[in-house]
Structure 1
Amino acid sequence: MNITFLLFSNLTQLDFTGPLQVLSRLPGAQVALAAKHKAPVATDTALTLNPTHDFTDCPPTDLLCIPGGFGVDDAMQDAETIAFVKREGARAQYVTSVCTGALILGAAGLLKGKKATTHWAYHSELKSVGAEPVKARVVRDGNLFTGGGVTAGIDFAFTLAAEIAGEEVAKAIQLGLEYDPAPPFLAGSPDKAAPPALKSQQERYAPRLAAFREALEKALNQS
């Protein structure tokens, strides 16, 4: 199976590296890291990623995965990036995203009439691209698989692994990675977080959402 991850500047590295770690262990997996150019791609941390392909030489994909991050604003407005997502999404067996990567799929017209999820702060924005928002960590609608925010990408990847290779293979990968989460705090979702934590994150995302909505409007007007 050819698995293609889209890379773009200022993506959230765990949106990418979590699913990569799981899906690259699938039997016969061939992974391509596709970007507009083959120059190193900066993430939201000190980690820099090296694309293996650009949009012109990327092999046809069976599974397309779009990570999220603050860089989605620019990625949504880039004509070559959206053209690549449309092209690969049209022929992929599985079309997938993690976190706000769903909005790149949406800008490419791949979420219309589909159930989907994304990071909690952006969840209502899915309606702007014609999707039906579903509050869940992983959502499937036909061949479309979307994961919630950041760490949900790991659960998302195991869901895909089971779909592709069967539960026993997925469970074996889970054991190999010792994925046995037991978070020290019950603060991982708006429904569980204490008011001070929720308020701080709502304040953090407020200006980001304003910028995102402006970028999405421009992206949709270009399509």
Structure 2
Amino acid sequence: MTIHRLLLLIFFLICVTVHASAQTKVLFVGNSITKHGPKKDIDWSGNWGMAASAEANDYVHLVTKALTEKAGTAPQVMVKNIADFERAYSGYDIAAKLKEAIEFKADLIILAIGENVPGLKTAEDKMKLQASVAALLRALKGDRKPAILVRSCFWANAAKDEALQQACAAVDGIYVNIGSLSKDEANYARSERPYKHAGVANHPGDKGMAAIAAALVKALP
């Protein structure tokens, strides 16, 4: 092989490596912490992660900003609220209800759910959640090999978090434990400003959102 051909081969391999590692399409799948539209009866007017003070301050946009700075170009982003999956995960029609997300074919999938899952009272309940979340991740993954991050609950819950962790392991994902964040009152929105609705106030505020984003970015492969 000539030096010229060798250099071309090296350049090609570098390009392939960069392309393969580039996270150009990012899918965020979560609940109100990920995105919640305006709801007057709870005094929430935003259309981003509850209860960040502005769109730029929720964890989705902070992670996207970090990815943009790292790659030098902004990724294509899709954000899906699947609180309905959390509340009724057993028998959920993933293929039909998440068709758009599946067809998005993300390079990076970030799953941030659990808070709305009803309490797991038995080992069978935990197994059902684990199986349902694993099925969800497999559907989003498809026949590709995207990077997958699964975040634990903001409001730490041992049974739910264990089910999430096991589902994450089933698809070779990276589990990100943020359970300690809820122990710090400063991470709650109520510590930053007054809210009329206790449920909104109980969400992570700007500091909590930044901490979630930092944990996710740190875990990125």
After TM superposition, the score normalised by the length of structure 2 is 0.36
TM-score by length of 1: 0.35
Q: Computing the radius of gyration over CA atoms, which structure comes out larger, 1 or 2?
A: 2
Bigger fraction of residues in strand: 1
More helix by share: 2
Higher relative contact order (CA 8 A, sep 6+): 2
